[in-house]
Amino acid sequence: MSPRRRGFIRGDEVASGRRAVVAQRYLQRETYAQIAAAVGVSSVTVWKDVQRIRAGWKESAEQAIGERIAQEMATLDEIERRAWLAWEASKSDIRVTYAETNDGSSKAGQRTTTTPGDPRWAGIILDCVERRCKLLGIDAPEKHQVSIVPVVREYPSAWATLPAIEAPHTNGNGSHA
């Protein structure tokens, strides 16, 4: 490795250590000038360090959010899978014995029917689907446009029957005559 390349690595290590101090002081709400004085670099260098630090934080946060969404999706998948199994298990076959009488003749027998599943499991399944849609941003907020249309009603015959109202007369100095 060339000496120049080794110096670059050394400089990168120094910058990395400096950025750790800059990040700590930045989080403590120190100004760029205060940080620069404490670290021994210019305010411009501190500004550049903060930009790189914030970009790193953003990348880490986006990665963490993506991982968290993936974890929540896996949890929802498992809950929904178990709810479907419970739904199927909640269905049961019922034997119904019956006797019918029609005009003197009687008929008896049994039949088997399957009951529908427990609706509570269907509710859990629906909740999983709704939560998944929210996590993925599928359910966009609904926009409602409201328009106000003025309604004008004309009642000419009613207006004609109202007595005329006159303004009170004043004598010029503001007092009523």
Res. 74: pLDDT tops 80 = yes
Total number of domains constituting the chain: 1
Task: Kindly state whether residue 101 falls inside one of the protein's structural domains.
Answer: yes
- Whether 167 has a pLDDT exceeding 70, the answer reads no
pTM above 0.75, yes or no: no
The amino acid at residue 38 is A
In a domain, 141, yes or no: no
Element (H, E) at 69: helix 43-90
Please give the pLDDT value at position 176: 56
Name the pLDDT band for 98 (thresholds 50, 70, 90).
confident
Please report whether residue 170 resides in a domain. no
- Give the C-alpha separation, 128 to 158, whole Å: 61
Report if residue 119 sits inside a domain.
yes
**Phi and psi for 107 in degrees, rounded to 5?**
-135, 130
Quote the domain boundaries for residue 48: 9-136
Q: Is residue 60 part of a domain?
A: yes
pLDDT of residue 96: 80
Q: Is residue 64 part of a domain?
A: yes
Question: Is residue 30 included in any domain, yes or no?
Answer: yes
Within-domain flag for 35: yes
Which whole-number Å values give the CA distances from 3 to 8, 10, 134, 136, 165, in the listed order? 9, 10, 54, 50, 102
- Half-sphere CA count of 146, side-chain side, radius 13 A: 1
